Structure 1
Amino acid sequence: MRWLRLIALVPLAASLAGCNFVVLAPTGDIAAQQRDLLVVSTLLMLLIIIPVMALTVFFAWKYRASNTKATYEPEWSHSTQMELVIWSAPLLIIICLGALTWMGTHLLDPYRPLDRIAADTVVPAETKPLEVQVVALDWKWLFIYPEQGIATINELAVPVDRPIHFKITSSAVMNAFYVPTLAGMIYAMPGMQTQLHAVANSPVTSRGFSANYSGAGFSKMHFGFEATDEAAFASWIAKAKASTGALNRQAYLDIEKPSEAVPVTYFGTVDADLYDAILNMCVDPGKMCQSEMMALDARGGLGLASVNNVVPRTVVTAKASRGGTVFGGAPTYVVGVCTPEELAALLPLTAVPARTPLKDPRPVTGVGLPLPSLSSGESPADLSPNALVRGPRRLSNS
């Protein structure tokens, strides 16, 4: 009966043959080095784990109650030789693991440009990495090729043996960009840019996906990955360029809206400044860019001139659908003031709703340092609701 049970388990073991151990069989040098680090670390730990498991079974068998020949020493308490073995072996393993981890952390730093294509091939001095800008959307992936002037949704293609430099960000929710055959995963976060350097060493067709849960459509948030030779990559670029789709700001605001299982889409032309606008979270018309806001903050801010610098959203985007206050207020954004001419074209005065004037525009007094005063020639009365479209004012400390 016991043998029949073992035979019944054979089909279950055979089903494991369908597993794809892609992490242990990568096609990229970075992923291969990460695989080696994983295998070596596991083997080093097994040097302790296997003897401990074997000795546990051995001691349980030798000192069982029915074995009257086993030595019985209830007063035994110490052995210097055993203490040396117990402490020295794990200590040596930890030292080896620490050294291995330290070297791997620096050599496989995703921000570190590649110095080799494979174990026996260095990167030629004249080689220029392929730059790919990656944007994680809900729930799809956008890839922009700035050098080639194209973009794709849910399809990534790279040439073999050419270093790749990924610049990665997200539209609204944190994700994790991961192509197991190419390199390890790295996070994609809104308003921030992470980087990844990698290379594909042989042609492969696989897929990448998000390794960080990001909502209802997470399970379908994957994309096709293809590494080809230079000729096939050039053909793929030509196919994308032949597309009539144009990826400008309005097109991006449309595809930014949450959607699932989006088919592969090509864009033959791309707005050259789109990725920077996505990274600075200012694709919406008239919205102040994150870089502009930080520059203004570094110079002391806009003071009272910024009171009326918030307007309701006129474009419904993925972030706008989640926006607004906790208790249901309308979503708003800070208006850009560093380029007043462009702002006037995007938001004419008639489109800016009236603002409630300040109840008391006089300076606030109290304990502490004096507030910044307006520059000469201006008064608090100049802070009209529409003053923001005339550009920023200079502030001086009193």
Structure 2
Amino acid sequence: MRVLLSTFGSRGDAEPLAALASALQAQGAQARVCASPDFAGRMEQAGVELFPVGPPVREWIRDVRADPKPDIPRRGAQIMGLYRDALAVAIEDCDAVVATGLFPSTTAAQMLAERHRLPYVYAGYCPTYLPSAHHAPFQFPHHPRPPDSADNRERWALNAQAMQDTFGDTANRHRAELGLPPVYDLRDRVFTDLPWLATDPVLSPWAPTSLCEVFQTGAWILPDDRPLAPDLRTFLDAGDAPVYIGFGSMSLHAWKDDAARVAVDAVRAQGRRVILAGGWAGLTPIDHGEDCFALGEVNQQALFPHVAAIVHHGGAGTTMAATRSGRPQVVVPQIADQPYWAGRVADLGIGVAHAGPVATVESLSAALAAALKPEMRVGAGVVAGMVRGDGAEVAAKRLVAMFGGG
């Protein structure tokens, strides 16, 4: 059995597919991943076959964020076309397709699976992307806003129409070229009748709703045994536990020029040393003090248990890694699902949700002070013992059981 795994997005979208691919291989199946060339090194480390697609996602995201009025239909059409062409090659000899990530890429995966008459699974990394009476959908900036009186059911119905209006013409053009009939329920066709939710049920529970039934697998976590660099180990051993600061793939365009200074000063105000991860924002220390360590790529699974607290953007992968470490968090959410993860961290009592995407020294220092309290550390340790790490194995076993017979 060979499964084609497809995504378009940042590391938080691609690495879970590497975890699922590795778990499938442990079950005796084969897997290949279609994703951005940004992640070739990580896929190679995991022993996973990568079919690189399109431009580096880092460049694509940079261009979108630099555009004051991004043309979402046009950019979506670009991604859909790139993935349709790449998947048409990668799908050969495959027995099933699993798709995650940006909607245009999953649309391409669904139509290629349909064209080849293969089983298809849509998986999400956050409950808020799936229809529910308990939360509202993402609001497309170019589409009219629902009336204030609309409830969540109405908003999700309007969301289905917005998805059709935004991506439907492009999808139906590709479908016609593939010999497929047009569709007018694109969102629900791509999401399927039973989407999978690759999140931990403690950190991210799914509330039952008549709008959508899901199969929750648990988070797809790629075990990482890479050692910490010797100079980082030396820094960790040289004093009290530092505070980690990293914002992953976020550009922090609203406060990029001040982000490093604000973060370092806020940590120093709490009498702590700092580990500053540059990330895609390219953060660098404000000085060369011995209490500050500049970091590039790192094994979060190995590092996080050694820090006093973790300040981050609230990406699904980083939030899960921080939660599993048992260390308290401060989440400064920027976009998309990150406010959801910040809220979950606060609700569970394992950290603090910063109010808004731009921090000051005072606001971040106050959040850190709350996160560093003993009761927060105890709560983080308790929840760390409750979250699971077997989601990729659960998903792999289900895929093999469902589709491995053919």
Question: Rg larger in 1 or in 2?
Answer: 1
Asked which structure has the greater RCO (Cα within 8 Å, sep 6+), the reply is: 2
TM-score normalised by structure 2 residue count: 0.25
More strand by share: 1
Scaled by the length of structure 1, what TM-score is found? 0.26
Which structure is higher in helix share? Answer: 2
